[in-house]
Structure 1
Amino acid sequence: LDTREEYSHSRKLGDECSETQLYAPPCISLLNIHDSITIDKVEWRPVTCDPAEVDGFKIPITTSDRDDDNAVTSSLAGKDGTSFVFPHQQDLCKVSTIHPTTIEHNSTQTSHEIMCDFGREILGHVRITIVPSKASILSSSSVEPPIQLRVGETHAEALNDNEEHFEQSIDLCTNGDDNTMWLSSHLLAFRFVRIIIASDDIDPDEVTIACLSQEAEIDNNAGSLDFGPNAPSGNNILDRNIWDCAAATLKLCIHQNFIVDGIKRDRLPWLGDVVVSLMANAYSFHDMECIRWSLSVLGRCGMEKLYGNTNNYALEEEVDARVQVAESHVNGIVDYSLWFFICHWLYQRYFGDESYLRQEWPLLETRLVNLIQWCSDKNKGWFIEHESEWIFIDWTVEGDKSIPLQILWWWALDCAHDLAKSMLLVATDDESKEALNSVVELIKDVQSKLETSLLERDDIQAGYSRHAHLLGVLSGLYSRLDDRASGDWWDPDTSDERVSLLRKSRKLVEESRSALLGKDFAAVATPYMKHLECLALIRLDERSTALDQVRKYWGGMLETGATTFYEAFDEGEAISDVAAFYDRPWARSLSHAWSAGPCALYPEILLGIRPLSDGWKEWACSPIESVSSVTSEVNTMYGTIRIDLNQTQLR
């Protein structure tokens, strides 16, 4: 199939809506806005599949349009006449008050300080109340706070007074004229709060500090994992603490129905975090809505760059189209555009949400066809890198990033192929079936060329990093050689070739096993990739090693005082080391969604629980030999799977 020919079946999102109409999140894309124009000077209007269906918060996609330079409106009236609140304006919808667990006072010659420890990571507003009798003298037309606020995810960060190193805005606002109550103007991520009182008119003993916090409203579908008293090597307490901390991390990073990367930074959906949190969510909260919203908003970013791209033929148009694709990547990252298809496949595997796939397929198809047409080598199937593109993979990757990128490209194509086949099963008319068959053939053509270029070399794994090895295992690339070896083994004309393919497949698996078990390759840099590394060890049936890795890595974070898990971590880091990142002393996010992996890893390691078909219609369970007592519950679309293992039976 000539992938350069015009692809007539690429459709703009929304041209076809499924009978079961879901809605995407209230997603805002800024279009045609000059850099000098702030968000407050933008007039918003909704654009949907059916404009008549605009209904409060259920707006499939929202774009902006400036009618004139003086547009200042940032609200939209809904059907009932109420004002529509846009995502960037949304704040806490359900507030709970949390009080500090410990309070310390410290006086100096010029001020009095109060340090509060809330005992765990929190996302919320800091509220400071001053008793009225002591604050009456503060009542005036001035709204300058008589106190100063400092916050930190660590004690040391809360002690910082250098504004250059502030990671969050610590402005305060008051509730009225009496200045008795002050509130942080913005949501803050913290465990520690420090209040500096410079006025003699305020009695420190009459100042109370609390947090107005919001956590995700998770329904009663939450899964669980209970480690019995006879867990292996007496590690039941450690295992339970790791599981609980991972679940707390995930719950805190589900904010306003989105999966955000971290509560301090950036508080936005990033696909790398969705990769891990999707799997962790499946084994814990079973919250499908936040995954749908996150995938929907991520998939729509940059889409306006792709419409009409597949009709270009002239060389200059081809160059322009390639640039447009480079500017359309999910989160602006090449590998995240590839993970996007893998995430949709994972979502179907763990949640079986067929209606959502039908809704999102036009978008998936548009992205896929543009990547194939403008980013893949027409002879080898390789993903062609563009000079303007950002390839992330991990914060530190030893060697060439292009090798793990090519494996990810193969994996993305494989997942897209499965998604297209799923769409074929529900297609009802001949035109849709023809379009979907065209997509399937397009994918098979590119994937076949890529397989050949990746697998037929003698030195397949030359230049591999640890990341390439773990992705090679997880993607199923090596097992594709097993598929090629299948057939009539009694045929003397092909039996030698089949034996050779099987030997090569086994060699690839064993080389990756050796790489992942050894220390010759640089370690992964983030819990994101550590989760995938442990998952690869599970796939290699090295579950005892995976369990040791979970305990060392995530247990190491607990040893530094973690109440939620971090954005990055090097084994052996001390508590004084964990806050620094990006050459800034307090930049590291200490509650990050992609570190919630143990929620999914423990059930797979200990009990071998995983889905074998979409939505857990078929699933596997194979307890590890060293585990004697554990209970797990996993919620699925078919009901709850409960597994009880003790020293005498499994049920």
Structure 2
Amino acid sequence: MQIFYKRLLLSCFACMCLLNGFLFSSKVQAQNKTTQATWIWYPGDFEVWLSNQMQNRRTERGTFFPPFWRMDSHYVLVEFHKEFNLTQPEEIELFTEGQYNVKLNGKMLSGYPKKLQLAAGRQKINIKVYAQDKVPAIYINGKTVKTDASWLATFEDKEWIDETGKASDASGTTYVNAGTWNFNSPNQKPSNFKLSTKPKYAIKTDVKGASRLIDFGQETFGFIKLHGLKGNGQLRIYYGESKEEALSPQKCETIDFVDVNLAKAQDSTLQLSKAFRYVQVETDAGVKLDSVSMLYEYLPVKDRGTFTSSDAELNKIWQVSKYTMELTTREFFIDGIKRDRWMWSGDAYQSYLMNYYLGFDEASVRRTILALRGKDPVTSHINTIMDYTFYWFLSIQDYYQYTGDKQFINLVYPKMKSLMDFCLQRRNQNGFMQGLSGDWIFIDWADGLSKQGEVSFEQLLLCRSLETIALCADLAADDKASAYYKNEAAQLKTKFFNSYWNADKQAIVHSRIEGKQTENVTRYANMFAIFFDYLNTQQKEGVKKNVLLNDKVQKIMTPYMRFYELEALCAMGEHDYVMKEMKNYWGGMLKLGATSFWEEYNPSKKDTEHYAMYGRDFGKSLCHSWGASPVYLLGKYYLGVKPLTAGYQQYLVEPHLGGLQWMQGTVPTPNGDISLYCSTSAIKIKADSGTGTLRLKSKIKPQAKGISVKQIGPNYYELSIPSNKEYTVKYKL
């Protein structure tokens, strides 16, 4: 069996991986040919380790404040290997993070070799690495032998030696593709990773006695730098997203106290980064300070998505949304930069979608998905929140649709199965999800929102999650599981509408208690059912009239759920209405001086009431990832660009001006960009790759040189757009 296994390994990576439950994509095969060495580790371990570093930096008024949920750790002992067929001898250099041993062609080498001489012919390298304080990782560089994503890794090689000294057959071991990111030199160790920084200076400083109020002009994140600090005593820093918070030493959310004992003036940078716009600095009489600046901390992500239009306010909304995403895109996609600085699956799910229309940073999506999932066994929902578990599933389907990255699907699929097993085992006797001990049913921050009984929103998300894992089972060639999940999804969808659809109300009711529908109708399940395309035409119209456009149904106050509400309305063709709502809601925050978008916005609140939440005067986050949703809405529903098949091999462009005179923008894809200009009489479009379908409404038959025009309905036309050439379409709105 060992010889057979080796032959499989040498002849075809795809066959070997199928034997172990993983089917590699062409993307992996392309990576196998890389000419650049990189650090590798067990996939997901660096992400778990780094998330632990980041999420445990949170403080509240100087007190350590760790996450609420179970934190996993990396595997401390990992074996890496790969086989090569060298045409000539080669010397390789070896670097590791942790203690290690090396086997060459099955023979253990003495000591800790830094260089290896490889003869021509078949060579197999095995390296076993142990580390507790960091992730076991290796970096090998030679002329052709280099570490990359094609190396295999395992956390248990199931190896033993019998009484004769014969090594065991390790064919029962599950090997997976090694994890990588962008650590491409031996000195660029994964354990040393830090975000980038750059200096930033205050726009205004007001000094009153021993206190000074420093304004950096906009919401920001980084390290306070104290210039010309000397003397003996204490310096106190009170941070504020608002001026009122910085001027409230007793109630501001974040503080720093610095003990000073310096005979000579020097500059000092604080060790922990914080979120703020304003800082108030107080000094004891014996402490002198010249000035205060900061080091802005950020993850470098190339700006690819763009948007501008004839509406100046809308352009500012897009720009502030973009900046909000920049601030909350860190080692991972986090919720808010001041308070939690954690990864919440619901927040991250929206960040992924915005990212696809902005930086298209696939690596950040993968890191966040892996870190949120953590390790088996599953003992609770992600973030302890039932709906956040389901958003995690949904995020994987979206990731595949936008990127076409089958390799990642195969990597994460086993984790999907164990998490879905956990969920399905917690259904009640009616086959529905219902909150059990330790489950947090979140849905949204809304006054008086019932979480009792069988909540329709949770069943809807479970149904979509089952459809998602069925798709991934197909991609992983797990036919038996695919059939099972498809059947479960179909049965649940039928049961859902039989149980929650109310024909008199023409809406999905909020919940069932003791097997009976409650009278309450909320927006949540109804709007998700629209963009999940679960409703027929009559049901959609009923939901739009009786729920989404009905002021008697409890309104949504958080940008979190406004995201989905406005998406549902866009999906129903209400682009003009959504444009007005977007300008009123996000424009309302701008009128109050917002430089990034908030966790919650209620227009009826006054003055400092806007900063309060969770029973604290300044508990609200004024920079929250879910506040940036106009980036997604404008990209997907106004520029109208979305993938029809995985990775934008085929895509749709269906622009909607929404009352604008013109708009233009760029939507990133895995293999280039799609650029669009649209006015009331002309559309210009160019795509770097893929085949596009342009759909538009026009009072006249559109004219476009070099492409055919097909009418698909009254004043409704479709054009096929090839890649790598700009096309101009004349039409009349």
Q: Could you say which TM-score interval applies, normalised by the shorter chain?
A: 0.7 to 0.9
Q: How does 1:156-555 map to 2 (within 5 A)?
A: 156-162=244-250, 165-172=251-258, 178=264, 180-199=266-285, 202=288, 207-220=290-303, 222-227=304-309, 231=310, 236-256=311-331, 258-300=332-374, 303-305=376-378, 327-375=379-427, 377=429, 380-396=430-446, 398-401=448-451, 405-425=455-475, 427=477, 432-455=478-501, 460-461=508-509, 462-479=519-536, 506-507=538-539, 509-555=541-587
Structure 2 counterpart SS, 1:375: coil
**Which position in structure 2 is the counterpart of 1:590?**
622
Number of residue equivalences = 530
Structure 1 counterpart SS, 2:206: strand
**Which position in structure 1 is the counterpart of 2:243?**
155
Q: Relative to 1, partners in 2 of residues 1:76 and 1:438: Cα closer, same or farther, differing over 3 Å?
A: closer
Q: How does 1:629-644 map to 2 (within 5 A)?
A: 629-644=662-677
Q: How does 1:566-645 map to 2 (within 5 A)?
A: 566-616=598-648, 617-624=650-657, 626-645=659-678
Structure 1 counterpart SS, 2:377: helix
TM-score (norm 1): 0.74
Determine the C-alpha separation between the residues in 1 that align with 2:73 and 2:187. 15
**Which position in structure 2 is the counterpart of 1:122?**
220
**Which position in structure 1 is the counterpart of 2:92?**
none
Determine the C-alpha separation between the residues in 2 that align with 1:171 and 1:186. 12
Is the 1:278–1:291 contact (alpha carbons within 8 Å) kept by the matching residues of 2? yes
Determine the C-alpha separation between the residues in 1 that align with 2:662 and 2:520. 43
Deviation at 1:410, TM superposition (A): 2.8
Determine the C-alpha separation between the residues in 1 that align with 2:287 and 2:397. 62
Is the 1:342–1:416 contact (alpha carbons within 8 Å) kept by the matching residues of 2? no
Structure 2 counterpart SS, 1:243: helix
Alignment of 1:23 onto 2:43? yes
Q: Relative to 1, partners in 2 of residues 1:453 and 1:649: Cα closer, same or farther, differing over 3 Å?
A: same
Counterpart AA for 1:293? R
Moved more, 412-421 or 513-522: 412-421
Deviation at 1:562, TM superposition (A): 0.8
Is the 2:97–2:134 contact (alpha carbons within 8 Å) kept by the matching residues of 1? no
Determine the C-alpha separation between the residues in 2 that align with 1:295 and 1:392. 20
Determine the C-alpha separation between the residues in 1 that align with 2:472 and 2:461. 17
Is the 1:120–1:191 contact (alpha carbons within 8 Å) kept by the matching residues of 2? yes
Determine the C-alpha separation between the residues in 2 that align with 1:115 and 1:513. 51
Q: Relative to 1, partners in 2 of residues 1:195 and 1:169: Cα closer, same or farther, differing over 3 Å?
A: closer
Is the 1:226–1:632 contact (alpha carbons within 8 Å) kept by the matching residues of 2? yes
Deviation at 1:174, TM superposition (A): 6.8
Deviation at 1:249, TM superposition (A): 0.4
Instruction: For CA contacts below 8 A with separation 6 or more, give which structure has more relative contact order.
Output: 1
Q: Relative to 1, partners in 2 of residues 1:383 and 1:78: Cα closer, same or farther, differing over 3 Å?
A: closer
Counterpart AA for 1:27? V
Calculate percent identity across the aligned residue pairs.
21
Q: Relative to 1, partners in 2 of residues 1:15 and 1:595: Cα closer, same or farther, differing over 3 Å?
A: farther
Determine the C-alpha separation between the residues in 2 that align with 1:423 and 1:105. 63
Is the 1:77–1:83 contact (alpha carbons within 8 Å) kept by the matching residues of 2? no
Alignment of 1:100 onto 2:173? no
Deviation at 1:344, TM superposition (A): 1.6
Determine which structure has the larger strand proportion and give its number.
2
Determine the C-alpha separation between the residues in 2 that align with 1:45 and 1:472. 37
Counterpart AA for 2:355? N
Q: Relative to 1, partners in 2 of residues 1:402 and 1:537: Cα closer, same or farther, differing over 3 Å?
A: farther
**Which position in structure 2 is the counterpart of 1:494?**
none
Which structure 1 segments of 5+ residues have no match? 1-13, 31-36, 58-71, 139-143, 306-326, 480-504
Determine the C-alpha separation between the residues in 1 that align with 2:389 and 2:247. 40
Is the 2:325–2:628 contact (alpha carbons within 8 Å) kept by the matching residues of 1? yes
Deviation at 1:442, TM superposition (A): 3.8
Is the 1:404–1:468 contact (alpha carbons within 8 Å) kept by the matching residues of 2? no
Deviation at 1:439, TM superposition (A): 3.4
Determine the C-alpha separation between the residues in 2 that align with 1:167 and 1:225. 35
Deviation at 1:450, TM superposition (A): 3.3
- Per-residue CA distance 1:79-128 (angstroms, 9 max, x = gap): 47999776xxx784322010101111222xxxx22211101111111111
Structure 1 counterpart SS, 2:294: strand
Q: How does 1:54-93 map to 2 (within 5 A)?
A: 56=97, 74=133, 79=138, 92-93=194-195
Counterpart AA for 2:258? L
Q: Relative to 1, partners in 2 of residues 1:622 and 1:575: Cα closer, same or farther, differing over 3 Å?
A: same
Q: Relative to 1, partners in 2 of residues 1:650 and 1:147: Cα closer, same or farther, differing over 3 Å?
A: same
**Which position in structure 2 is the counterpart of 1:51?**
79
Counterpart AA for 2:422? N
Determine the C-alpha separation between the residues in 2 that align with 1:602 and 1:647. 17
Moved more, 452-461 or 617-626: 452-461
**Which position in structure 1 is the counterpart of 2:211?**
113
Structure 2 counterpart SS, 1:26: helix
Counterpart AA for 2:427? C
Deviation at 1:404, TM superposition (A): 9.0
TM-score (norm 2): 0.66
Structure 1 counterpart SS, 2:611: coil
Determine the C-alpha separation between the residues in 1 that align with 2:403 and 2:573. 25
Q: Relative to 1, partners in 2 of residues 1:266 and 1:448: Cα closer, same or farther, differing over 3 Å?
A: same
Q: Relative to 1, partners in 2 of residues 1:331 and 1:596: Cα closer, same or farther, differing over 3 Å?
A: same
